[in-house]
Amino acid sequence: MASSSSFLASILLILLAVCWVFNACNASSQGSTSGFSMKLMHRDSPLSPHYQPSVTSEDRVRAMIERSISRARYISSIISGTSYSDDDSDGYSGGGGVYTSIASSPSSSSSSPTSAPAPSNINSKVIPNNGDYLMELEIGTPPVKIAAVADTGSDLVWVQCKPCDKCYNQTDPIFDPNKSSTFNGSVSCNDEICLAIPTSDCTDNHCDYLYQYGDGSLTTGTLARETFTFSSGSNKKQQGNASSSFPGIAFGCSHKSSGLFEPNVDGLIGLGGGGASLVRQLDSSIDGKFSYCLTPYTENTTSTLNFGDNALVNDPGFITIPMARRSVTFYIIKLKSIAVGKDTIPNESLDTNIIVDSGTTITFIPDIPLNKLIDDLSKIVNLTRTNDPHNFFSFCYSHFVKDPPYPFPDITFTFDKPPHGASIVLTPMQAFIHVSDHVLCLAMLDKNQAGISIFGNVAQQNMHVGYDLNTNMLSMAPANCSKF
């Protein structure tokens, strides 16, 4: 009898051990809601592979603004190509990320949507992987480290793969699927991820894709599945060098690419709301939740990207705002008003939608509230007005970087949330930007320069921003992101 009990106990221990290992190695299929965090690098940080010590801070800011306007124009071109009707109160009925609305082969480049007119002082083209924040992760078994743009404005996850018929010049070694024991290159054309990509095609029941950008750049290849590993490093919520691995993540294995891709980026991680995005694929493991906390771009430190339980935004002063349900890719809320001092400026634009985007630097708002905001600030701020040397901004002051911080008034953005709205305060650091060593400008532009309103990442510095795709709610809270 004792022997039988001992045998059953041994069997039970073995089963428990197997279950523990299975859950640890296959978290994505178990619906686990445990959280994990990882680091984000601003592309202009010395920690970034993009960093060039010889480039001046003024040139970096100029490039940031050029990228921001280019990106905003491109997002606008995507949205303008989607369906819209008078009864679509949300305005934006879909997105789909950074691909054209119809493309089945490289020859379809002429069908890409028309971009909004470029401001006269902008000569830069849309750079495909032009987001401001990079993330490092590992792919395959054994894991291979890659650096990719983290993009809340697109869905597809893709990296360059061997064999590469025509690849852009990539600094890191190109991922070789033949050296990974967990690579699965046969994703069916009926797979839900394949069906979520409008630019997918079918060859022998293998899902192919083509992602085309506004400047004619493209990446094309085969949809595959692979194990993705995210290493946390050390942070407040997760100590040590813990890592989380998720098998079976669908991604674009790019075998051909051309255009303005940058050599220090190996691909793109889509964090949008569409079915092919990383967030949607991890849904059962992270309960549809992710967040980020962006450190000021002038600080030489990393930001944090959180998933699952770690993405809960409950910091002091947090607000929650409903997102537009009609949008597929983009995260859209409604701007109700802007306030400075004792003056509240209503947003009376016919289109009150504003996209919350981590990849766009500048905030774009309608011209009427922007002009009224500038008028109010000019009556409060006692500094000498000056011109932006690069002609981007219309509201600037003479103020040296090394001068003591000037006590600019806070600017309050109120977003639509019945019955009274939800408000977040922008400090001077979140509202103004030094465009040179001695010129400080309001980091906001007229939406007519882009075609859409965007709540940019300067405004989101030192702010914990969370997305819950299951409840369709966005959260914001003031935070010290360097200590997050």
Identified catalytic residue from 132, 287, 357, 388: 357
Is 357 labeled as catalytic in the residue annotation?
Answer: yes
Cα–Cα distance for residue pair 89/91, rounded to 1 Å: 5
Identified catalytic residue from 44, 132, 151, 215: 151
Is 176 labeled as catalytic in the residue annotation?
Answer: no
CB burial of 37-58 (b: ≥16 within 10 Å; e: otherwise) equals bbbbbbbbbeebbbeeeeeeeb
The catalytic residue positions are: 151, 357
